[in-house]
Homo-oligomer: A and B are copies of this chain.
Amino acid sequence: MRQLLSETVRRVRFVLVATQHSGNTGSAARALKTMGFDHLVLVNPARLPDETAHAMAAGAEDVLDGARICSTLEEAVADCRWVVGTTARARRIGLEELTPRQASQRARSILNESDGAEIAIVFGRERTGLTNDELQLCNAGLMIDANPEYSSLNLAAAVQVIAYELRTQLTDDEAESASSVTLQWQPDKAATHGQLEGFFGQTAKILERIDFHKGREERSALFKLRRLFMRWPMDEKELRMLRGILHDMERALRIQSDD
Show the binding face of A for B, using Cβ within 8 Å. Answer: 1-4, 30-31, 33-36, 58-60, 91, 96-102, 105-106, 144-148, 150-154, 156-157, 160-161, 164, 167-168, 171-172, 174, 177-181, 183-185, 206-207, 209-212, 221, 224-225, 227-228, 231-232, 234, 237-238, 241-242, 244-245, 248-249, 251-253, 256-257, 259
- Which single residue of chain B is at the shortest CB-CB distance from A153? B34
Could you list 9 further interchain pairs (A-B, Cβ under 8 angstroms) beyond the known A60-B150, A211-B252, A224-B241?
Answer: A1-B147, A30-B152, A105-B181, A153-B160, A160-B160, A160-B161, A161-B164, A185-B231, A210-B248
Nearest-Cβ distance from residue A33 to partner chain B, whole angstroms: 5
Q: Known: A3-B148, A146-B36. Contact between A207 and B153, CB under 8 A?
A: no
- Which single residue of chain B is at the shortest CB-CB distance from A146? B34
Contact of A248 among B97, B152, B211 (CB under 8 A): B211
How far, in angstroms, from A31 to B150 measured CA to CA in the complex?
10
Q: Are A2 and B257 in contact (CB under 8 A)?
A: no
Can you identify 12 A-B contacts, CB atoms within 8 angstroms?
Answer: A1-B148, A100-B164, A145-B168, A153-B160, A157-B160, A161-B161, A177-B178, A212-B245, A224-B237, A224-B238, A228-B234, A253-B253
